[in-house]
Amino acid sequence: MKYFIGNWKMFGVPKSINILDKVNSFHKKDKNRKKYRVIFTPPFTLIESYAKFFKNKKILIGSQNCFQKDRFSSNTAAISPYMIKKVGANYTLVGHSDNRSEGDTDAMLKNKVFFALKNNLKVVFCIGENKIDKRNKKTFSVLKKQLISILEKKLDKKKIIVAYEPVWSIGTGKIPTKIELQKTTIHIKKILKKIFGKKSPAVLYGGSVDGNNVKMFREIKEIDGFLIGGASKSAKKFIDIIKNYYR
């Protein structure tokens, strides 16, 4: 199963559901529809209405983050995994570089993953190196630390997806070479197998994915799908990524 996950970040109002509806209409007619899963992570403000609209349909809804506590607390503006699940989400991103740069620590991320899984949310765990890490050839060591600091064998690997998103690539139009990305994805999967056993959770790529470069990504069999940012705000661009992947 491949994954195409749209991360809207700070984008979207109620009528933006038309974008998802167009993607859903395409998916229903697509001959390859059984080969992949489509997930969108809109802002918290839209999760409930979108989840209701797409209930019993093939578009799944997730959140872009969750708080590091279980249900209710006195933390102003915090939204827990329990609350997210109750409004209809099925997935949550955890560890996105935006949130890491805003102060998410390993301890916080560990709690987020634990409580998300406890509340039956599937976790898309984000990892990635920055420009300085890449320049200093620390990509592999940084990714290893990000994985082994948070993920443990006791966690349900069937409910975990890892998204590799190099920070230097996000929104820049720059992407790793085919060889770089293949080696990095293999490295990630080796670490995940050491953590969880024989079979690795799915590993996605994110960072300036579009309808053109996805043709190169599809040649890397180790990649199990994509975390898509800017292009997911357009139904046509998102659909073109799926079309060109299977073309």
- The sign one gets for the Cα dihedral 59, 167, 193, 113 is negative
Query: Hey, what are 99's tokens?
Result: 């949130």
48, 102, 165, 187: which one is catalytic?
165
Q: Among 37, 105, 99, which Cα is nearest to 66's?
A: 99
Between the CA of residue 243 and those of 28, 65, 107, 228, what are the distances in Å? 13, 28, 40, 14
Q: Is the separation of the CB atoms in 121 and 89 below 8 Å? A: yes
Query: One of 48, 96, 180, 219 is an active-site residue; which one?
Result: 96
Decide if 96 is catalytic.
Answer: yes
Spatial distance between the Cα atoms of 163 and 7, rounded to a whole number of angstroms: 12
Which residues does 100 contact at the CB level (< 8 Å), separation at least 6? 109
Report the alpha-carbon distance of residue 131 to residue 139 in Å, rounded. 9
Smallest CA-to-CA distance from 207 within 186, 189, 223 is with 223
Residue with tokens 């955890």: 94
Q: Do 45 and 54 meet the contact criterion of CB atoms below 8 Å apart?
A: no
Is 165 noted as a catalytic residue in this protein? yes
Q: Which residues are catalytic?
A: 96, 165
